[in-house]
């Protein structure tokens, strides 16, 4: 929708989060980035709770990389307009919260970022859901 799919594919491939990136649509790439960021934040929360500082650091770093070099880099301000600008600000805010969690070793900022990622992820999945025909009797569907 409002993405630079080449940047998203490059970052996702480099992060090694999942196979099949080359065949994925630009929309699917963004969904995959959200999934990877959510997983990294969940792992950071787990590692803070377990007291594993090196793994916590790695997980927060991974989440930050996905947000900044994947999701943020995929924004296209020319096509996305105000939405792209708002996402740009939100991604910067999420990164600040990740850094706070890292420095202070706190779970609360991570939980906040996880909630934001889940909301955005859900919105992207809804955007990609094809419209359902109004009548179940119709044999044809309209492609989104």
Domain boundaries, the chain: 5-126
Q: What average pLDDT does range 47-62 have in this prediction?
A: 97
Residue 36 has pLDDT above 90, yes or no: yes
Class of domain 5-126 (CATH, top level): mainly alpha
Q: In this prediction, what percent of the chain has a pLDDT beyond 90? A: 56
Number of residues that this document lists for the chain: 144
Please tell me whether residue 137 adopts helix, strand or coil conformation: coil
Q: Write down the number of H helices and E strands in the chain.
A: 5, 0
Residue 141 has pLDDT above 70, yes or no: no
- HSE at residue 82, side-chain half, CA atoms within 13 A, is 0
pLDDT-derived band at 138 (thresholds 50, 70, 90) equals very low
* 118, two tokens: 């889940």
Pairwise pLDDT comparison (141 vs 10), residue with the higher score: 10
pLDDT-derived band at 1 (thresholds 50, 70, 90) equals very low
Beta bridge partners of 20: none
Residue 136 has pLDDT above 60, yes or no: no
Residue 120 has pLDDT above 70, yes or no: yes
Please, what is the average pLDDT of the chain?
82
pLDDT at 137: 41
Q: In this prediction, what percent of the chain has a pLDDT beyond 70? A: 72
pLDDT at 26: 78
**What stretch of H or E contains 32?**
helix 26-50
Inter-residue long-range contacts of 126-129, CB under 8 Å, 24+ positions, other chains counted: 127/1, 127/27, 128/27, 128/28, 128/31
Strands (E), the chain: none
Residues whose CB falls within 8 Å of the CB of residue 54, separated by 6 or more in sequence, listed in order: none
Please tell me whether residue 117 adopts helix, strand or coil conformation: helix
Out of 19-28, 74-83, 88-97, pick the least confident.
19-28
């Amino acid at each position: 929708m409002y993405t630079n799919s080449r940047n998203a594919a490059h970052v996702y491939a480099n992060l090694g989060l999942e196979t099949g990136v080359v065949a994925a649509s630009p929309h699917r790439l963004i969904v995959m980035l959200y999934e990877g960021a959510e997983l990294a934040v969940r792992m950071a929360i787990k590692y803070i709770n377990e007291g594993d500082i090196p793994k916590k650091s790695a997980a927060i770093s991974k989440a930050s990389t996905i947000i900044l070099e994947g999701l943020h880099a995929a924004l296209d301000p020319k096509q996305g307009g105000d939405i792209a600008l708002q996402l740009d600000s939100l991604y910067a805010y999420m990164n600040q919260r990740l850094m706070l969690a890292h420095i202070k070793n706190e779970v609360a900022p991570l939980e906040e970022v996880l909630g934001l990622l889940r909301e955005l992820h859900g919105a992207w999945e809804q955007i990609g859901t094809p419209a359902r025909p109004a009548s179940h009797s119709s044999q044809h569907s309209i492609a989104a």
